[in-house]
Structure 1
């Protein structure tokens, strides 16, 4: 069973609240650009969830915790969403797709991954933003790597790669820490001013990154 809910702030309104009771729902697609309050109950059957919340909204942390048992999660990340995800444990999550909106999202990536112990597939899609990532110098430093990187992550995909420093750091972090990795797929963003020799250089730089998983494949899409 599937449902799609969308809300936008085209009409000025305040004090609205959406309440959803979902005893048999398995797939849920929620888009909210209004900042309204939303609550959801009876989510035990949820398997696949897509969440796109643009404006800060009341009780967002509680709302996101309703999906802590899902198997697949797609998140449009803004500042508030990032902070909430750092503290929620997704105990059954095996596939996660991240669509960054804010440039500093990578600073929360390691704490987020620590809350996904069974993650098998991680997809990062920069197609929803032109804002370059801007990670701090210490974004990947931690006393202990996330459990999923040593025991479960098999597939990594980065969509709309442009060769920026932070993007290369992200690829390097995954390749050098993911012991079970089978494939890492990098899709290059079509850039009108990118010469063939520059594209080839970007690919060679990524190929030179050491991989802790000796059986992993590094694939490219152009």
Structure 2
């Protein structure tokens, strides 16, 4: 079911990410809690684009959060606000493939970072190398950033 007039959605995803995302591509404000292991086969297919998405609150309860986040940034060209809450076990064995946040090719930077992102919040920061690289990447490429916060507090992200 496609919902072309949906402006705001609060979703908790445990399975069928792709079908859910296909239904809400026109959403402007999305609050998304992801409770599944984010493997390549669990990501949504290329071609799903969130052309109207301006505000994303993303709560991820798995250690391999970066793959989904990268796809959401790439597929949300008008994103103005991202509030990321990573709530994982800090002692989790990191045997998954990391996203490389150290891009040298400026053409691969998501459009929203170059054109529209104004507010960035990251709660649940633990200082792992992948998180440090991600935060550096945002600060380097978010040309219109007006407000940012990075905190260890993983139980709270302002509405």
- State the TM-score bracket (shorter-chain normalisation): 0.7 to 0.9
Say if 2:6 and 2:24, in contact at 8 Å, map to a contact too: yes
User: In 2, distance between residues paired with 1:126 and 1:133?
Assistant: 16
Aligned residues: 146
CA contact (8 A) 2:29 2:53 kept: yes
TM-score, normalised via structure 1 length: 0.57
Instruction: State the Cα RMSD in Å.
Output: 2.6
In structure 1, runs of 5+ residues without a counterpart are 1-39, 191-222
Aligned to 2:26: 69
TM-fit CA distance, 1:70: 0.5
Q: Distance in 2 between matches of 1:92 and 1:169?
A: 28
* Higher relative contact order, chain-length normalized (CA < 8 Å, sep 6+): 2
Residue 140 of structure 1 deviates from its aligned partner by 5.0
Higher gyration radius (CA): 1
Query: Structure 2 CA distance, aligned partners of 1:85 and 1:61?
Result: 7
2:95 is the counterpart of 1:136: no
Considering fraction of residues, name the structure with more strand: 1
Q: What residue number does 1:188 align with?
A: 152
Of 2, 7, 10 in structure 2, the residue corresponding to residue 50 of structure 1 is 10
Corresponding residue number in structure 2 for 1:114: 74
- Residues 97-136 of structure 1: CA distance to partner in whole angstroms, max 9, x if unpaired? 1111222221343332121010000111024x33559562
- Does residue 170 (structure 1) correspond to residue 125 (structure 2)? The answer is no
| Residue deviations 1:197-222 (CA, integer Å, cap 9, x gap) | xxxxxxxxxxxxxxxxxxxxxxxxxx
Take 1:98 and 1:133, find their aligned partners in 2: how far apart are those partners? 22
Q: How far apart, CA to CA, are the structure 1 residues paired with 2:110 and 2:146?
A: 17
Residues 82 and 90 of structure 1: CA distance in aligned 2, closer, same or farther (over 3 Å): farther
Structure 2, gaps ≥5 residues long = 155-159
Work out whether residues 66 and 99 of structure 2, in 8 Å CA contact, stay in contact via their aligned partners in 1: no
1:154 to 118, 134, 159: 118
Please tell me whether the aligned partners of residues 86 and 112 of structure 1 are also in contact (alpha carbons under 8 angstroms). Answer: no
